[in-house]
Amino acid sequence: MVLSNSQKIELHKSILGYLKKNGFDESYQVFKKAAGNLDVDAKHEAMLETKWRSIVRLQKKILQLESANKQLTEDLQSVGKGKKLDASLALPREPQKFTLIGHRAPITAVMFHPTYNVLASSSEDATIKIWDYETGKFERSLQGHQDSVQDVAFSASGNLLASCSADLSIKIWNFETYECIKTLNGHDHNVSSVCFVPSGDFVISASRDKNIKLWEIATGYCTRTYSGHDAWVRRVQVSPDGALIASASMDQTVRIWNMKSGECVKVCRDHDHVVETLCFSNGKADVFIAKMLAEEKTGTSSNDIALANNTSSSSSSSSKKETKDGKDGKDEKKEDLGGAYIISGSRDRTIKIWQVNTGACVKTLQGHDNWVRQVLIHTSGRYIVSCGDDKTIRVWDLSKAGRNTFKIENAHKSFVSSIDWNRSLPMLASGAMDNTVQLWECR
């Protein structure tokens, strides 16, 4: 492209302004003479740098558009060949289906009910709100906490909802009557995370008091305290088989605990900042991750891949042994639950994959431009989905070396704090610091 005469003059003036501003006096004089002794003023001194920053931003946008175009092209090619897109691989698409408005403060957590067509959201406004995700309509508000509600979790059956708060308590709600049936007190500081044990008889909580607690729902008693972190425990999760607990902390570590003994069996150190979130892999993800890691090693055989796929928690290993010894094989389902890996997200802007048996970081995913707030495994096992303070929702493809192959730019007007995947319908929910919940259809 040929520049017009006026464009050439502006370019020359911006170059002269840059040379003058940065003290390149000799070059300035030579170039000024060669350009026809053009005069420059203060506005030209910053012009070149401003245009350069604009070019960098445009280049970044072009790369993002190229990535989105590639994804759309792949989808179109699949449709054009008469192939149906696999619903299990569906990803959230813009625009959002619904924006749920009603909270008066930032959203801290969102979670789909395992069977009903409702979604629960918690907020710093001290309430939990229930929404019909098929219509986007507000249904009811659960009130009882005296301070910010930090997290919510449904039991596997969906009969119970657990919530935790900065008011130092955990509440158990009967989700049939929407009544608070238990209030669990025992933490000495903000309770930041809560989850159910797979059996549904216990809940686990994590707190700013550096401790993790196991609570028996029937009695409301704390039956065990797990101590070892040196700072606020931000999130806690239970392995699919219920044998292990994983925790993320401001002390920059991920810790793995034996639930029954209370022993910390692994301390995972590789993050450079606060670890905000984590989750266990599922059985399908175990296969994708093991294959990805094997393919990254030169000369890895299929036997090595098979061996990696069998890596799991110690309890899963014991269930395999029982089946081998000739028992009825009822424990075989445990093997399919997965949990051989932990995925963590941090304020250092990275996502890391850890091998549970060794505690080693086996993969680091980079792409977020700010804190990573939450990570989860796609039901297909092929993807990791994440959100963060860069306002994006990102998808990482484990079948393509964990590359960030898809993202929703500016998913919210502010930091995206929480996401959850609907296991009944292809839908993703996201909550943010802008006080809203977004519902995204997946296709």
- DSSP codes, 73-128: HHHHHHHHTTPPP-GGG--B-SSPSEEEE--SS-EEEEEE-SSSSEEEEEETTSEE
Q: Who contacts 50 (Cβ-Cβ below 8 Å, separation ≥6)?
A: none
Is the predicted pLDDT of residue 310 greater than 50, yes or no?
A: no
Mean per-residue pLDDT over the chain, rounded? 88
Tokens encoding 415: 């930091």
pLDDT of residue 19: 87
pLDDT of residue 215: 98
CATH topology of domain 5-80: Mitochondrial Import Receptor Subunit Tom20; Chain A (1.20.960)
**What CATH architecture applies to the domain 87-441?**
7 Propeller (2.130)
Of the candidates 102, 385, 347, 106, the one whose C-alpha atom is nearest the C-alpha of residue 235 is 347
- Count the residues in the chain: 443
Q: Which residue ranges does the chain devote to CATH 2.130.10.10?
A: 87-441
Bigger pLDDT: 52 vs 80 = 52
C-alpha angle 24-28-34 in degrees, rounded to nearest 5: 150
The single residue listed with the structure tokens 């920053």 is 53
Of the candidates 401, 383, 397, the one whose C-alpha atom is nearest the C-alpha of residue 295 is 401
Say what percent of the chain tops pLDDT 70: 85
Average pLDDT over residues 6-28: 86
The DSSP 8-state label assigned to residue 63 in this structure reads H
Of the candidates 81, 238, 80, 275, the one whose C-alpha atom is nearest the C-alpha of residue 153 is 238
- Which phi and psi angles does 110 have, rounded to 5°? -130, 145
Q: Which residue ranges does the chain devote to CATH 1.20.960.30?
A: 5-80
Average pLDDT over residues 208-234: 97
3-state secondary structure string, 339-376? CCEEEEEECCCEEEEEECCCCCEEEEEECCCCCEEEEE
The Cβ of residue 122 has, within 10 Å, a number of other Cβ atoms equal to 29
Using a 10 angstrom Cβ sphere, with 0-12 exposed, 13-18 middle and 19 or more buried, the burial of residue 316 is buried
Report pLDDT digits (tens) over 392-401: 999 999 999 9
Say what percent of the chain tops pLDDT 90: 69
Tokens encoding 88: 């299990």
C-alpha 396/C-alpha 253 separation (Å) is 22
Using a 10 angstrom Cβ sphere, with 0-12 exposed, 13-18 middle and 19 or more buried, the burial of residue 137 is exposed
pLDDT band at 233 (very low <50, low <70, confident <90, very high): very high
Is the predicted pLDDT of residue 313 greater than 80, yes or no?
A: no
**Which of these ranges, 165-174, 291-300, 405-414, 417-426, has the smallest mean pLDDT?**
291-300
The DSSP 8-state label assigned to residue 190 in this structure reads -
Is the predicted pLDDT of residue 317 greater than 60, yes or no?
A: no
pLDDT band at 68 (very low <50, low <70, confident <90, very high): low
Bigger pLDDT: 160 vs 328 = 160
